[in-house]
Structures are given as C-alpha cells and as structure tokens.
C-alpha cells in the first residue's frame, strides 16, 4: 500500500499518461495538477483507478484490448502498470531489459517493449491514463535485485550505486522517449492514516494518490471505508486499488488474494459503487451484467 504525491500524471520520469491518438480531431490537454486535484481531459475532480503488473507481459493483443476496454467501461481513468521486466543474461518469454556485468541491453523486440507499445495504444484508444513504474524493491520480474546481481551492491544501497543508477536512468530515458510523441502516455490503512497523508499534500498544495491498497479477504467490508475516506478527504486526488482481475483467452488473470475480478460482488462494491459515488456518468453497467 502506498501513497504518492506527484505534480501531475505526466510528471517526473516514473509517470506516463495515456491520451487518444486515433481521434485526430479531438483536442486534449495533458493531465495536470490543479491544487490538490488532477485535471484529466479537462475535468478536475477525484479519480478512481487500479493496478496491473501483468498487462504488459501478455502476448495476446486482444487480451490487452479487452482488459483496457473493461477498465474504461468500469469508469476508471488511471491504470498503473509495470514498465519493467528485468532479467540477468538471456530471457525467455517477455522481458524488457537484460543485465550483465558489462551493462544492460534494452529489448525493443516483439517480446520486449513492443508489448508495452500495445498497452499504450490500448490506453490511448480507451482514453485511460497510465502510470508506469520502472523498478520495484521486490524481486519479482527482476526489480532492484536484477541490478544488484549484475552491478554489485545491495538493494538498500541501490539508490547510491552509480552503475545501477546510470543503467536505470538510461532505461527511463529510453522508455519515455519511446512514447514522448504519444499523447497516450503519464501500513495500517485507517481513515486517520489517510487523512494524515492528505493533510500533508494539502499543506504542500499538491495532489495525493492513494495506490496499491488491498487486503486478501473481506475486500468490500475493509476497503470500501478506505475509499470513502479517500474520496471525502481534501488533499486526495485519486485512488488505485490492488489489483485488477480479468478473464482472458488464457483464463483468469493471476489471483494473489487481493485481486478484484470483473463481474464479481467485490467489483460491484469497490469499482461500480465507488465510481458512481465519485459521480462519473460514463460507467457501462450493461457490459458487466449489472443492468
């Protein structure tokens, strides 16, 4: 569970937002911060979103399109995805970057960043804004440990490891430049904890983003009050539950216990009801069998 403070959805090097590129006649401004709120597609308000580590690793383009269409139809405007998948040495399947003691090689092939290209294009198509992260402390999909294996040091010392930072910054630059012309790119969790962080953002005049929240059971009973607290507390701009679950051509996406699947009762509670409470009127209830 994390709380992020960012200037805008297209801010710094770790954020990429998604805008429609197909509708050439439409005019959209980049997402921006407006006090403690975000402005997306000209609308300044509180936004709901979710996370998906796996969407950029899918090899079936139709599954990516299906997932993004479900995200948009559910009324979510922000989707946080993994922009890294690091290996040491040769990689099998989808990977984005390979590390060795001599340096790193960015995989721009069909089983590399071209997978992320499809995600970005789908986000553009459905007007979903992406937040893309580029590394993780955990070892899944490489993370900091892939850098440590190749360049030495420790994960806790990763931030001051000159070689690791040089490779990391080069990777960020490569990914950001890849999409720079795409307007499609950018604890105990109680109400008191939420308010404390929101107050800090309010004092700084910056929007807060409540991300990666979730539990392994009693999702609705536990997480719904968090959502209500986040929606109603000044200083909050958006929340992104962990994590999105969908039914693809290969079956159900990974269930880590915190996954909220399209069409489930938890989805009704934490997505459909939440989006309606925010006041977004584009929710397609019919697509989820809720009408």
- CATH code for the domain of 51: 3.20.20.80
Read off the pLDDT of residues 25-47 as tens digits, 9 standing for 90 and up: 344 557 887 888 888 888 999 89
pLDDT digits over 72-111, tens only? 999 999 999 999 999 998 778 999 999 999 999 999 999 9
Residue-averaged pLDDT of the chain: 82
Q: Is 198 exposed, middle or buried (0-12, 13-18, 19+ CB in 10 A)?
A: buried
Outline where DSSP puts E strands in the chain. 2-5, 32-34, 37-40, 43-45, 47-52, 78-82, 86-88, 97-100, 103-106, 129-133, 208-213, 236-241, 244-245, 247-248, 251-252, 260-261
> Residue 182: what pLDDT?
63
Query: What tens digit of pLDDT does each residue of 251-263 get?
Result: 999 998 889 999 9
* Residue 187, both tokens: 């604890």
- Tell me how far apart the alpha carbons of residues 127 and 133 are, in angstroms, rounded to a whole number: 19
pTM above 0.85, yes or no: no
Question: From CA 17, how far away is CA 36, in angstroms rounded?
Answer: 18
Q: What is the pLDDT of residue 12?
A: 31
Q: Which long-range contacts (CB under 8 A, 24 or more apart) does 2-6 make?
A: 2/211, 2/212, 3/197, 3/208, 3/209, 3/210, 3/211, 4/208, 4/209, 4/211, 5/200, 5/201, 5/204, 5/206, 5/207, 5/208, 5/209, 6/33, 6/206, 6/207, 6/209
Q: What are the C-alpha distances in Å from 157 to residues 60, 86, 97?
A: 37, 18, 21
Max Cα-Cα span within the chain = 58
User: Number of structural domains, the chain?
Assistant: 1
**What residues have CB less than 8 Å from 109, skipping those under 6 apart?**
none
Which residues constitute the domain of residue 51? 1-291
For residue 83, count CB atoms less than 10 angstroms from its CB and return exposed for 0-12, middle for 13-18, buried for 19 or more.
buried
Residue 249 CB neighbours (<10 A): 9
């Amino acid at each position: 569970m994390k709380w992020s403070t960012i200037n805008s959805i297209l801010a710094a090097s770790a954020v990429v937002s998604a805008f429609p590129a197909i509708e050439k006649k439409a005019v959209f401004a980049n997402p921006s911060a407006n006090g403690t709120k975000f402005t997306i597609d000209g609308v300044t308000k509180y936004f709901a979103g979710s996370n998906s580590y796996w969407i950029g690793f899918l090899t079936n383009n139709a599954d990516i399109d299906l997932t993004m269409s479900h995200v948009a139809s559910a009324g979510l405007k922000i989707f946080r995805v993994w922009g890294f998948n690091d290996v040491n040495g040769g990689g099998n399947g989808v990977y984005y970057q390979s590390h060795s003691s001599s340096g790193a090689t960015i995989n721009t092939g069909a089983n590399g960043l071209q997978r992320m290209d499809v995600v970005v294009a789908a986000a553009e198509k459905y007007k979903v804004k992406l937040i893309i992260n580029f590394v993780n402390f955990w070892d899944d999909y490489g993370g900091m440990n892939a850098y440590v294996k190749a360049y030495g040091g420790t994960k806790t010392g990763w931030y001051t490891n000159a070689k690791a930072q040089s490779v990391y910054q080069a990777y960020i630059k490569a990914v950001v430049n890849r999409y720079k012309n795409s307007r499609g790119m950018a604890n105990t969790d109680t109400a008191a904890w939420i308010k404390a962080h929101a107050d800090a953002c309010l004092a700084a005049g910056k929007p807060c983003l409540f991300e990666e929240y979730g539990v392994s059971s009693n999702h609705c009973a536990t997480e719904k009050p968090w959502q209500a607290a986040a929606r109603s507390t000044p200083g909050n701009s958006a929340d992104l539950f962990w994590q999105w679950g969908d039914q693809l051509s290969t079956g159900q996406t990974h269930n880590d216990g915190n996954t909220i699947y399209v069409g489930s009762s938890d989805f009704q509670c934490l997505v459909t009801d939440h989006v309606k409470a925010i006041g977004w009127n584009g929710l397609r209830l019919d697509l989820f069998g809720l009408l």
